[in-house]
Chain A
Amino acid sequence: MKTDETQLKRASDAALTSLLNLTILPVIGFIALLLIYRKTRPGDIDRYHALLGIQINIIAAAVLFLVSTLMILLGGFDSPWTWVYVITYFTLVHTVFIVFALWALVRAWSGDKLKQA
């Protein structure tokens, strides 16, 4: 399998938009990521990283917002303990996703998949 320059560039962009969606450009980052995904073909490295980014972000959104919402619903909006759990949970887990996306970005830069091929 050969990886040409455009694919490498696109894989890097995909990983970057994924990271941006997790940090300073939520939603916009994801739309950009979807647009990149549409340009890729199955089996290529850019497809791999676009797909990985989409997966990370969907899982992150689910894990962060669903669980937080659940905590609020179960704990009640006016209970201090709800906020103890929600804020601590959200901050820590959010960071874990960001660090993971950082590693993915670095792998995309070198044209590699997450695991050594």
Chain B
Amino acid sequence: MKYESQSIAKLYFIAAIGLFVGQILFGVILGLQYVMGDFLFPEIPFNVARMVHTNLLIVWLLFGFMGAAYYLVPEESERELYSPKLAILMFWIFLVAGALTILGYLLVPYATLAEITMNDLLPTMGREFLEQPTITKIGIVIVALAFIFNIGMTILTGRKTVISLVLLTGLVGLAVFFLFSFYNPENLVLDKYFWWFVVHLWVEGVWELIMASLLAFVLIKVTGVDREVIEKWLYIIIAMALISGLIGTGHHFFWIGTPDYWQWLGSIFSALEPIPFFMMTLFAFNVVNKRRREHPNKAATLWALGTAVMAFLGAGVWGFLHTLAPVNFYTHGTQITAAHGHMAFYGAYVMVVLTMISYSMPIMRGQQAANAKAQIVEMWSFWLMTVSMVFITLFLTGAGILQVYLQRYSDTPISFMETQSKVEMFYWMREIAGLVFLIGLIVYIVSFFVKGEEVKMAEAE
């Protein structure tokens, strides 16, 4: 570790992993409720468990991004963090606010939560992913502003690199688009329309910038390839991400009451959205192929390559699968969507955070890389989680195709609930794959505690 303040990332990463465990536990609960409807009812109803699952996902990814930025930015800027104290303070505020919100979901009925948090003064609750009470949302904005101020001051007063500037742009974008969560028009069409300004413009816009910069950072470190090569790629990737992703939002405006031209705009531009993900794969492959050194952290290289491939699969391929209006007409809101949502979130954002952790955590613990045994355990967890996520996706895709056929495509369509009972087999298999994922996550955590002989970088030839 070059700068002491980088170690603040460790706090953020530990919190991220802790919340990740919570997210997956609730995922497994949800999966079981899919096949045993009254499991844990009335203590934890499905809608509550779902909210906890998705909100924990978002919150721990934000912890991951912030930790990643606190690690990356001082090193890129070649100076200590502008204010380490502020970073630590914000950590605790965010953790407490996050924990209170999740407890609120679990302990009181949602309507009561809305009431006691005075949602009626500025109603923003009740929408998927944005369920947080308005005060939590305000808290998120404060934490985000303090974070961006801290990171921004460090970058602007230090060495400016393409990587840190792309990261900063992505993070500012993240904060700016979150502001749309405060706009909650009465009109349902407008409500949905602006809801996607947060959800879509995050994952298919500004988060791609964050992902590309984190991936580029780790790849430079583990391969020793020149910055200039990497920067050229970054420019093209982010240009493609923004060109396709901004108007690509239109693939959510096919059937919500917005004008018909969105079917054309949304189809055409979102059909280009796989390109930046495709290029990230090409970029990662190319850099690893041209590597100048054998970094002792093999696990981090595996995570980086895995991110590039799985993001292409989940976002690029499974996104393209249902993005054209004539296809989406049938698949909208089915299990196909859930299949894509899972693999895309995992492949892109979960994996890029785990890549950063894999690279930086050993260094923050005073080693170049984790010992050989620990790395083997970590790589096992990589395969367990990644392969089980592929299976979750395949089972949900199977369920989705059957659902579309029976419920929407067939000449003699059957009802929603009748369809659900016909695809139950897939839900059982998804649950089993989910349990394997949970085991993979436990193995991942174990890998941090495996002892062994230290590994060192081989001297460059």
Contact = CB atoms under 8 A, between A and B. Distances in A.
A81 B398 CA distance: 9
Decide if the interface of chain B is mainly helix, strand, loop or mixed. helix
Interface in B177-229: none
Contacts of A109: 286, 289
B291 to A, nearest CB: 11
Contacts of A99: 281, 309, 312
16 contacts: A80-B405, A80-B410, A81-B402, A83-B401, A87-B401, A88-B394, A88-B397, A88-B401, A95-B312, A99-B281, A99-B312, A102-B278, A103-B285, A106-B285, A106-B286, A110-B290
A92 interface: yes
A107 B401 contact: no
B402 A92 contact: no
A14 to B, nearest CB: 16
A109 B287 CA distance: 11
A62 B418 CA distance: 38
Contacts, number: 44
Given A80-B401, A80-B402, A106-B289, 17 more contacts: A80-B405, A80-B410, A83-B405, A84-B398, A84-B401, A87-B397, A88-B398, A88-B401, A91-B317, A95-B312, A95-B313, A102-B278, A102-B281, A102-B282, A106-B282, A107-B289, A112-B289
Interface of A: 80-81, 83-84, 87-88, 91-92, 95, 99, 102-103, 105-107, 109-110, 112
Contacts of A91: 317-318, 321, 397
Nearest to B390: A92
A64 to B, nearest CB: 14
B300 to A, nearest CB: 19
A80 B330 CA distance: 14
Q: Which 7 A-B pairs have the closest CB atoms?
A: A80-B405, A106-B285, A84-B401, A106-B286, A106-B289, A84-B398, A95-B317
Decide if the interface of chain A is mainly helix, strand, loop or mixed. helix
A99 B280 CA distance: 12
A9 to B, nearest CB: 16
Interface of B: 278, 281-282, 285-286, 289-290, 309, 312-313, 317-318, 321, 394, 397-398, 401-402, 405-406, 410
Given A80-B405, A83-B405, A87-B401, A92 B394 contact: yes
Contacts of A92: 394
Nearest to B316: A95
B263 to A, nearest CB: 21
A56 to B, nearest CB: 15
A42 to B, nearest CB: 25
Nearest to B320: A91
A84 B396 CA distance: 10
B250 to A, nearest CB: 21
Contacts of B405: 80, 83
Contacts of B278: 102
Most buried by A among B321, B401, B402, B406: B401
Nearest to A88: B397
A91 to B, nearest CB: 6
Contacts of A81: 402
A72 to B, nearest CB: 14
Contacts of A88: 394, 397-398, 401
B289 A110 contact: yes
Contacts of B401: 80, 83-84, 87-88
